[in-house]
C-alpha cells in the first residue's frame, strides 16, 4: 500500500457505497431504498500523482470520483444525529474499477476494484467538523474536461453522508482511520492508458478544498493464469455499465441488439463448437431439436423474439385466430437483428408461417425465423432469402392445429426454453440457444477451440493418429503451444 499523505492512522478497512447520488441512480435506472456496501482492500490505497495500471487483456477501466470520509474516533451503534461527530476528515477519492472482472465478482467487486492503486486518496484532508456535510461538492476532470459534478444536499444525495456512518456502526465497529467511500455522481465512464483523472472535494462557501487528486492511467502486465482463476471478460452488458450508457459504449440503443463484434464472432463459430462450450458450462438442453435450414449453408445469428401457439381449439381460434392476431403482430413488429422463434409444440401438421409473413419479416430486417412446426409456401419462402429453420413443408393453414396466442414470452421450441433476448445461432447442424450473458464468453471459447481443431486436423491429414492429438496433450500440446506463439489466433473483424 502506498499511503496517501496526511493520513493520521493506517486504515483497517475501506468500505464503499454502491449507489448514493440521485444522478447516478437515474443514469443506472435503479434507485436503492437502503444503502448497500462492498469492501476494498487497504492495499488498493494510493497517493495523488500515482499511476493506475490497466492490465493487459482488460479494456474497461472506469473512474468514479467520490467523497471519502475518514473516521476519527470509534463508532459502534451510534445514532444518525451523533454519526458526523465520528468523522475526522473528508477528502477526494477515486473508486477505480475494471469491469472486465465485475461479472465474475458477482457484486463483491473484489478483483474489479481492490487491485493495487485502485483507491487514490487526497491530496489534502478537510476538517470534517469545520464543514456542513450537506454543503460539500465533488468534481472530476478527465484530461482537463469536467466529467462529473455533484453536491451533498438532500436533492443530490439519496442518503445523507452521516447515514453511512450510523448504518455501518450497527453492524461493525468503525475504528479510527477507517475510510468510507460515499458513491459517485453521474458521469463515470471508461478511461484509457494516457488519460489523466483529477478529482476535487471542496466546501465552496468556506473556501476549503482537498486539492486535486491526480491519477494517470498506464498499461501493465496481465498474464492471468486460467488454471488459478477466472480470466477477464468483456460483454455488451459490462460495456454499457462501464461507459454509463449503451450509446456511450458505441452500442445500439436497442438493448437487445448484438454488437457488430459479437455478431462477427458468432457468425464465425460453428453451432457444434458453441454447443460444446455451453455444455462445458453445465448447459445441455440448448438445442432446438428437429429443425434444419431451408437452404443448406445458411448461417443465422440474432436475438430471440418469441411467438407461442396453443393446441388448436375451434372456439379459441374463432376468437383469437382471425384479424390482427398474435402471429401477425409478431411478424409485423420484429426488429432488425431479431430471430422470431415460434413454439408450435413440434406439431408439424400445419404451417406456422408462409410467404407473406416471411416477406414482411425480411423487409423489417429480421435475422431469421425458427419454428418447430411446419412451413407453408415452402419454395416461395425459400426464394425470399430470409433464413428460416423448421421441420417440414405443410400446405395446411394455421387453424388446423394451432391457435396464435401470445408473443414476447418465455416459450419452449423444439424442447428448448427460449427467453426473449436470448442469442440464437443456426447453421447446417441446427439451432442453439445461448443465454445473453454467456454469448461473448462462449463465442470466444468456441473460436479458440476451432483454431486448435484446425491445427489438429492438419496433423491428422499428415497421417498422425488421433491418440494424444485430439485433443492435444503431452508433447502434442507443447508443439501446439509453440506453434501458437508463431501463429497467434487472428481476430474476427465485423463485416
Question: Taking 90 as the threshold, does the pLDDT of residue 39 lie above it?
Answer: yes
Q: What is the mean pLDDT of the chain?
A: 93
Q: Phi and psi of 103, rounded to 5°? A: -65, -40
pLDDT in tens, 73-98: 999 999 999 999 999 999 999 999 99
Share of residues in the chain with pLDDT > 90 (%): 83
pLDDT reading at 163 higher than 60: yes
Average confidence (pLDDT) over 390-419 = 95
Query: Rounded to an integer, what is the distance from CA 369 to the centroid of its chain?
Result: 26
Tell me whether residue 356 is annotated as binding: yes
d(CA 386, CA 366): 8
> Which pLDDT value is given to residue 258?
85
Answer whether 430's CB lies under 8 Å from 292's CB. yes
Every domain of the chain with CATH number 3.50.30.40 lies at 284-434
Q: How far apart are CA 377 and CA 258, in angstroms?
A: 31
pLDDT at 2: 47
Fold topology of 284-434: Glucose Oxidase; domain 1 (3.50.30)
Answer yes or no: is 354 a known binding residue.
Answer: yes
Query: Coil, strand or helix: which one is 463?
Result: coil
**pLDDT at site 1:** 41
Please give the average per-residue pLDDT across 168-176, as a whole number: 97
Contact yes or no for 428/296 (Cβ under 8 A): yes
pLDDT (mean) for 337-351: 96
pLDDT band at 438 (very low <50, low <70, confident <90, very high): very high
Q: What CA–CA distance (Å, rounded) separates 54 from 191?
A: 9
Was 137 annotated as part of a binding site?
no
Count other Cβ atoms within 10 Å, centred on residue 9: 13
Question: DSSP class of residue 255?
Answer: T
pLDDT at 491: 86
For residues 162 and 167, give the distance between their C-alpha atoms in angstroms, rounded to a whole number: 9
359-388 average pLDDT score: 96
- Residue 253: the pLDDT is 60
CA 282 from centroid of its chain's CA atoms: 20
Task: Give the mean model confidence (pLDDT) for residues 53-70.
Answer: 95
Among 32, 14, 13, 28, smallest CA distance to 159 is for: 32
Whether 136 and 176 have beta carbons less than 8 Å apart is answered as: no
Which residue ranges does the chain devote to CATH 3.90.850.10?
14-243
Instruction: Tell whether residue 418 is among the known ligand binding residues.
Output: no
Count how many Cα atoms sit within 13 Å of the Cα of residue 167 in the half-sphere of its side chain. 15
Report the chain's C-alpha Rg in angstroms: 28
Higher pLDDT, 261 or 144: 144
Instruction: Reply yes or no: is the peptide bond before residue 367 cis, omega within 30 of 0.
Output: no
Domain 14-243 homologous superfamily, CATH? Fumarylacetoacetase-like, C-terminal domain (3.90.850.10)
pLDDT at 448 over 70: yes
The whole-angstrom separation of Cα 60 and Cα 233 is 10
Query: Looking at residue 300, what is its pLDDT?
Result: 97
At residue 306, the 3 state secondary structure works out as strand
For residues 44, 216, 145, 7, the Cα torsion angle rounded to the nearest 10 degrees is 40
Decide which of 249 and 435 is more confident: 435
Residue 2 and residue 406: Cα distance in Å, rounded?
60
- The predicted pLDDT at position 364 comes to 94
C-alpha cell at 81: 444525529
Beta strands in 35-189 (DSSP E): 37-40, 45-47, 51-55, 61-62, 65-71, 87-94, 97-98, 119-121, 126-127, 137-142, 145-151, 179-181
DSSP symbols for 230-253: PPP---HHHHHHHHSSTTTTT--S
- For residue 48, what is its C-alpha cell? 495523488
- Give me the pLDDT at residue 28, please: 82
Residue 265 has pLDDT above 60, yes or no: yes
pLDDT tens sequence across 316-330? 999 999 999 999 999
| Cα separation, 433 vs 304, whole angstroms | 9
Q: Which residue has the higher pLDDT, 262 or 30?
A: 262
Amino acid at each position: 500500500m502506498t499511503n496517501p499523505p496526511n493520513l493520521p492512522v493506517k486504515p483497517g478497512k475501506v468500505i464503499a457505497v454502491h449507489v448514493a447520488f440521485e444522478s447516478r441512480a437515474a443514469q443506472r435506472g435503479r434507485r436503492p431504498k437502503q444503502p448497500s456496501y462492498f469492501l476494498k482492500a487497504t492495499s488498493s490505497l494510493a497517493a495523488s500523482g500515482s499511476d493506475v495500471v490497466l492490465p493487459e487483456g482488460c479494456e474497461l477501466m472506469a473512474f468514479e470520483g467520490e467523497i471519502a470520509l475518514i473516521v476519527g474516533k470509534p463508532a459502534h451503534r451510534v445514532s444518525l444525529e451523533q454519526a458526523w461527530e465520528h468523522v475526522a476528515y473528508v477528502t477526494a477519492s477515486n473508486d477505480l474499477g475494471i469491469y472486465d472482472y465485475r461479472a465474475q465478482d458477482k457484486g463483491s467487486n473484489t478483483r474489479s476494484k481492490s487491485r493495487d492503486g485502485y483507491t487514490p486518496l487526497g491530496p489534502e484532508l478537510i476538517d470534517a467538523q469545520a464543514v456542513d456535510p450537506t454543503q460539500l461538492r465533488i468534481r472530476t476532470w478527465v484530461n482537463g474536461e469536467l466529467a462529473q459534478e455533484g453536491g451533498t444536499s438532500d436533492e443530490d444525495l439519496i442518503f445523507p453522508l452521516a447515514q453511512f456512518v450510523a448504518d455501518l456502526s450497527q453492524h461493525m465497529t468503525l475504528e479510527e482511520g477507517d475510510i468510507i467511500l460515499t458513491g459517485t455522481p453521474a458521469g463515470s465512464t471508461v478511461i484509457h492508458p494516457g488519460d489523466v483523472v483529477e478529482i476535487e472535494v471542496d466546501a465552496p462557501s468556506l473556501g476549503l478544498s482537498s486539492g486535486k487528486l491526480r491519477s494517470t492511467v498506464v498499461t501493465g502486465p496481465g498474464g492471468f493464469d486460467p488454471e488459478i482463476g477466472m480470466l477477464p471478460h468483456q460483454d455488451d452488458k459490462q460495456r454499457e455499465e462501464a461507459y454509463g450508457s449503451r450509446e456511450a459504449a458505441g452500442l445500439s440503443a436497442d438493448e437487445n441488439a448484438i454488437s457488430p463484434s459479437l455478431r462477427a464472432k458468432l457468425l464465425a463459430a460453428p453451432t457444434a463448437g458453441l454447443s460444446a462450450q455451453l455444455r462445458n458450462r453445465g448447459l445441455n438442453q440448448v438445442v432446438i431439436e428437429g429443425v434444419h435450414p431451408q437452404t443448406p449453408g445458411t448461417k443465422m445469428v440474432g436475438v430471440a423474439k418469441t411467438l407461442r401457439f396453443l393446441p388448436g381449439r375451434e372456439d379459441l381460434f374463432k376468437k383469437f385466430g382471425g384479424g390482427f392476431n398474435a402471429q401477425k403482430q409478431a411478424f409485423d413488429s420484429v426488429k432488425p437483428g431479431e430471430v422470431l422463434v415460434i413454439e408450435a409444440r413440434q406439431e408439424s401438421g400445419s404451417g406456422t408461417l408462409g410467404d407473406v409473413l416471411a416477406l414482411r419479416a425480411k423487409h423489417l430486417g429480421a435475422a431469421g425465423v425458427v419454428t418447430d412446426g411446419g412451413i407453408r409456401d415452402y419454395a416461395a419462402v425459400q426464394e425470399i432469402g430470409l433464413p428460416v429453420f423448421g421441420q417440414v413443408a405443410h400446405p395446411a393453414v394455421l387453424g388446423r392445429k394451432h391457435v396464435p396466442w401470445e408473443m414476447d414470452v418465455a416459450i419452449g421450441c423444439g424442447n428448448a426454453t427460449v427467453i426473449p433476448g436470448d442469442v440464437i445461432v443456426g447453421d447446417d447442424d441446427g439451432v442453439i440457444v445461448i443465454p445473453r450473458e454467456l454469448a461473448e464468453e462462449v463465442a470466444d471459447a468456441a473460436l479458440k477451440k476451432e483454431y486448435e481443431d484446425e491445427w489438429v486436423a492438419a496433423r491428422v491429414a499428415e497421417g498422425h493418429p488421433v491418440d494424444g492429438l485430439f485433443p492435444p496433450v503431452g508433447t502434442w500440446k507443447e508443439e501446439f503451444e509453440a506453434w501458437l506463439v508463431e501463429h497467434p489466433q487472428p481476430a474476427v473483424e465485423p463485416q
